[in-house]
Amino acid sequence: MTNSLLGRIKSLLGFSTVPQLSLEELQRLFTEKYCNFRELLTANNNALEAMAQMENALHDGRAFSMAFIRSNATVISVNIYKMIQCLVTMADGRYGMLEERFADIQQQLDNIINHDVIKVEGRWFLPLHEATRELVDLAGEKMANLGEAGSLAGIRIPPGFVVTGSATRYFFQQNNLYPAINRIFQQTDPSNMEDLHERSNEVQSLIKRAPLPIDLEKQLYNQFDQLVQKSKTPVKLAVRSSALGEDTRQASFAGLYHTELHVDRDDLIYSYKSVLSSTYSSRAMIYRLTKGFIHEETIMCVGCLAMIDAVMSGVCYSQSISGRPGAMDIFFSAGSAKGIVDGTKDTQHYLVERSAPYGTIHQTAESSPADARLMDEWARDIATAAMILENHFGTPQDIEWSINKEGLLYILQSRPISVAGKKERDQVGKRAVNEHCLLQGEVTGCAGTASGPVFVVRSNLDVLRIPKHSVLVVEHPLPQWAPLLRKATALVAETGSEAGHLATIAREFGVPAILSAKGATKLVNGQIVTIDATNQTIYKGRVEALLQHDQPKNNPMDGSPVQKAMIDALQLISPLHLTDPTSPYFRSSCCQSLHDITRFCHEKSVVEMFDFGKRYTFKKGAAKRLVDNMPLEWWVINLADGFIEGFDSGSNYINISEIISTPMLAIWEGMHAYGWAGPPQASVRGMGSLFFQSTRQPGIDPAVPSAMVQKNYFLVSRNYCNLSVRLGYHYAMVEAYISSLRTERYVTFRFKGGAADERKRVGRVELLAAVLEHYDFRIEKAGDALTARVEKRSQAFLFNRLKILGYLTIHTRQIDMVMDAPGQYKRYLDKFLLDIEEMIANEK
Amino acid sequence: MKSDHNPVLEAALKIKLLLVDDEPEFLETLEKHLRRRKINTSVAEGCKVALDILEEQAIDVIVMDVSMPEIDGLQCLKKVKEKWPLIEVVILTGHASVKSGIEGMQGGAFDYCIKPIETQELVEKIELAGQKALINKQKADAES
């Protein structure tokens, strides 16, 4: 402040406070300042690009991970930090408050996006009957539900134990697996299926190869031995996943994690590690990504249950997914439930009343009379158990069950039904059935309509080839196809029932699905079809009448932890409060978001660069007079490499042919494209004003060549030009940097002043603004001052803009004098546009 | 009217670059890419080797990983900046965090980039860092 006051006093007394520099000093200073400016512009661009990426990801419905948020937030933070450092250096230490504001915002951002691995503490093992919902962090969702179900009267569960999340954490920590896994996935592009598969395999084999700590291994065998001891018969285990967040209403993870069946003592360790490693299977990774789960928060617990020697198994939905009130679904087949959930077995279906005595409403006809008799009896047991479980957990349940040789019912899983079921057949569908019908399925996996080209998946390799928005056709609806639902617009399978895992996931993602559509794999790849899953029909071509009734697809990420983190992070990143540089609140202390800081830094850096010519002057000899026939003095200062090699630096004059600054040459071309018509014929009042101004500043009338004529300076390098010009009574400045790097390129124009009264001066600024806006400049106006900018466009585009500015600099001289005369504004606008069009026509 | 001549790119060809990472395969691949673009590149498997190379060779720009065994990238950056303040360091990490990014920049890194990165983008960053290193030298010469 003192320096500034002193400066003003000196200035008032007529002493110049601007330092005079030698050409070498000037060049070094320019290079340094310009280097900072360029770094700042590049950083600004990087930060804004990363902001746009985050905004787009949030709003275009794509799936994104915490790693995506973290990477972009880091790019933004690092680049803004860099912008601040550059600006502070350019401004000789001013704007220090920015660092404080940045540190504050960045700290808040860090709290949102940096999740450490959840610290699960406690026992390594839990007997299954001791697991409850209260111990969900240790036992995982599936085993906590099952253990608690086992404590209810009338519910039987298999004996078993849980290897807790605490044990998983111990195993991972002992082998330093967390940092290794994070490192691999940080470098994975989740949109690249091939890359994801490869990285997923890498991580899974890392886990399988890691040795189980000896104390954990001993205790695991001990648990198995105790189970055998209690059962008094040979025991084989089902080793099942029970991850935190799995089996919830929002996300079933149906069939996405690994299960090992018939596991004996010898295979126990391998099976345990296989289930753990399936946390990172590509299908689980993609599901988590799509549903917005935080990777680091996924802790796998493992359930080890004694296998049931099942004669019949199945799935029960305690509220029918057909949507029929008062009914429940029971799907079943002989043996284990595996064939039902992976859609490979033919499945029978009973629709049963939800209230005692649980009468059968409807049943599939295929059951043998013996099976049907048995099922009539068992269906009542299953329905009774289902209602006990629904009443206890307070929401309709998706239940897996088995009946052993003794006819005893075992519950193997009970989780909330994830998504409401299908709609009844509708009229539109019925009308369309006869027109262009290609195929009719039997089961609605997920209701809805969609259209797209057919893509039949026959092998794992096809997974990598599926185009976006395809109608995915498979033989069996295996859970391994789950990642494809992200790209598919609809699903068709030759087999399967509503109870299959893939159907469950299709419902979660809102992807219309038809199952049990025999002959579907004979559809031709690429053929456009319309799927009416509600009515289980596939039509040839695109049936608009059906698609009009299509509901918008769910965004599976809605309400997820990752989406919430993104929204919270963007609150600190993207709102822009500092919009008006002339406002008194355009201050570093008013920056509330990272976007505000970039805006502030960018604006102030431009000011700092523009002040270069004002803050530093040069000693005599630094500038070369340009040889030209205009009655004006043009001087050129070479800041870096703007003159041809071999130019005689001792010479006081330079020819235009000796200048190689491309931006300057473009401006020069625009200046010389048309001869100046001379000052306009002003009104008497206008002339009076001109004379008044001239008497006050006689040396600045450019129309009169004299020793007093103002010198106009080009500061140049090969890619840079800054032209300060005072023509008549206005001041103009053109600045440009046009290099091979698009991010650095810009053209700026500033214009102020005039001899006429303010109304007329403003009129001229309006005219300039109209012309420049026509040529894609961004305009800011304040009274008789105007700033125009354009950046990051092609070189040809920007060179043309410089020609336009060169033209306007010459041809707007003194026209403010006539800006109040009727028709003048229009006359000049038409003339300028006509001239410019002709001037740049060749380039076009 | 084209600007074919690019002093930045020409300057990049004169840059002496050192790549520091603990993954030999990554070093090898990146070195190959950069040499193809005629950037004079040396490699160091870890910070200790890098410090030895710096004792013997004049280096302008270092591209360095953060997570490395023994001495991590941020510590290594500190050592480099203490002894060779004119060298510009670009951090290239596979495990980005806002905290380590800012620590790196506060420690004097020229830039902080996240793997995977396009070779072209990295080359541009190396060029800018090289130009800054050149200015550092000129400034130091003028001051002395």
Q: How far is CA A547 from CA A432, A468, A550, A552, in A?
A: 12, 18, 5, 11
DSSP codes of every residue in A702-727: TTS-STTPPEEEEEE-SSEEEEEEEE
Q: Which residues of A touch B132 (CB under 8 A)?
A: 35, 39
Q: Give the domain-ending residue among A417, A448, A470.
A: A417
Exposure string over A148-181, b if 16+ CB within 10 A, otherwise e = bbbebeebebbebbbbbbbbbbbbbeebebeebb
Cross-chain Cβ contact A39/B138 below 8 Å: no
Q: Which among A38, A77, A114 has CB closest to B102?
A: A77
Residues of A whose CB is below 8 A from B9:
740
- Look up the CATH number of the domain holding residue A608: 1.20.120
Residue A223's pLDDT is 94
Comparing A514 with A345, the larger pLDDT belongs to A514
Q: Report the alpha-carbon distance of residue A420 to residue A450 in Å, rounded.
A: 19
Same domain, A737 and A780: yes
Same domain, A542 and A608: no
Q: Terminal CA-to-CA distance of chain B, rounded, Å?
A: 41
Of all residues in chain A, the percent with pLDDT exceeding 70 is: 84
Whether A497 has a pLDDT exceeding 70, the answer reads yes
Read off the pLDDT of residues A768-791 as tens digits, 9 standing for 90 and up.
999 999 999 988 887 788 888 888
Q: Which residue has the tokens 């206008």?
A: A686
> For A761-767, what is the mean pLDDT?
89
Regarding whether A180 and A256 lie in a shared domain, the answer is yes
A26 within some domain: yes
Asked whether residue A463 falls in the same domain as residue A519, the answer is yes
Closest chain B residue to A112 measured between Cα atoms? Answer: B98
A200 in reach of chain B (CB within 8 A): no
Distant-in-sequence, close-in-space partners of A177: CB < 8 Å, separation ≥ 6:
A171, A206, A207, A210
H helix intervals, A97-213: 97-113, 136-150, 165-174, 177-186, 193-209
> Cβ A740–B9 below 8 Å, yes or no?
yes
Domain count, chain A: 5
What is the nearest CA distance from B29 to chain A, expressed in angstroms? 15
User: What pLDDT, in 10s, does the model give residues A411-442?
Assistant: 999 988 865 544 444 444 444 555 678 888 88
The DSSP secondary structure of A380-406, one letter per residue, reads HHHHHHHHHHHHHHTS-EEEEEEEETT
- What b-and-e string marks burial along A535-574, b requiring 16 or more CB atoms within 10 Å of the CB? bbbbbeeebeebeeeeeeeebbbeebbbbebbebbbebbb
ipTM for the complex?
A: 0.84
Predicted local confidence at residue A295, as pLDDT: 65
Q: Which of A307, A337, A358 is the last residue of a domain?
A: A307
Please state which architecture CATH assigns to domain B7-130. Answer: 3-Layer(aba) Sandwich (3.40)
More confident residue, A553 or A357: A357
Out of A40-54, A701-715, A721-735, A800-814, pick the least confident.
A701-715
Mark yes or no for CB contact B102/A28 under 8 Å: no
Lowest average pLDDT, out of A67-71, A386-390, A725-729, A811-815, goes to A725-729
Domain presence at residue A586: no
Nearest to A460 by CA among A252, A198, A204: A198
What confidence tens digit (pLDDT) does each residue in A624-677 have? 899 887 777 888 988 778 999 888 878 889 999 999 999 999 999 999 998 887
- My answer on whether A313 and A448 are in the same domain is no
pLDDT tens for chain B, 144 residues: list them.
434 444 445 555 678 999 999 888 888 988 998 888 888 999 999 999 999 999 999 999 999 998 887 788 899 999 999 999 999 999 998 777 888 889 999 999 999 988 878 888 888 889 888 888 888 887 788 777
CB A711: neighbour CB atoms within 10 A?
13
> Which chain A residue lies closest to B123 (C-alpha atoms)?
A741
Q: Which of A417, A435, A452 is the last residue of a domain?
A: A417
Mutation choice for B interface testing from A24, A69, A80, A81 by most B CBs within 10 A: A81
Query: What pLDDT does A611 receive?
Result: 64
Rounded Cα distance between A78 and B105, Å, is 7
Both A102 and A123 in one domain: the answer is no
d(CA A485, CA A816): 65
Quick check: is A585 in a domain? Answer: no
Do A255 and A193 lie in one domain? The reply is yes
Angle at B29 between CA B27 and CA B35, to 5 degrees: 95
Instruction: Please give the backbone phi and psi of residue A605, each rounded to the nearest 5 degrees, phi first.
Output: -70, -35
A165 and A231 together in one domain: yes
N-terminal to C-terminal alpha carbon distance within chain A: 51
A447 and A501 fall within a common domain: yes
Per the structure, the complete domain to which residue A343 belongs is given by 308-417
Burial tier of A589 (Cβ tally within 10 Å: 0-12, 13-18, 19+)? exposed
Asked if A462 is an interface residue toward chain B (Cβ–Cβ < 8 A), one would say no
Same domain (yes/no): A639, A739: yes
To the question of pTM greater than 0.90 for the whole model, the response is no
Q: Is residue A557 part of a domain?
A: no
The yes-or-no verdict on residue A34 having pLDDT over 50 is yes
Tokens describing residue A184: 């691999």
Best mutation target, B25, B30, B93, B102, to test chain A (most A CBs within 10 A)? B102
Residue A551 is classified by DSSP as: P
pLDDT score at A111: 83
- Contact A319/A352 with Cβ under 8 angstroms? no
A425-462: b or e for each residue (b if 16 or more CB lie within 10 Å)?
beebbeebeeeeebbebebbbbbbbbbbebbbbeeeeb
Average pLDDT, chain A: 81
Same domain, yes or no: A468 and A605:
no
What is residue A301's DSSP assignment? E
A542 versus A101: which is more confidently predicted? Answer: A101
Residues A720 and A751 reside in one and the same domain: yes
C-alpha span between A401 and B24 (Å, rounded): 53
CB contact under 8 A, A70 and B6: no
Task: Show residues of chain A in contact with B106, CB under 8 Å.
Answer: 81
Of all residues in chain A, the one with the smallest CA distance to B100 is A74
pLDDT at site A133: 87
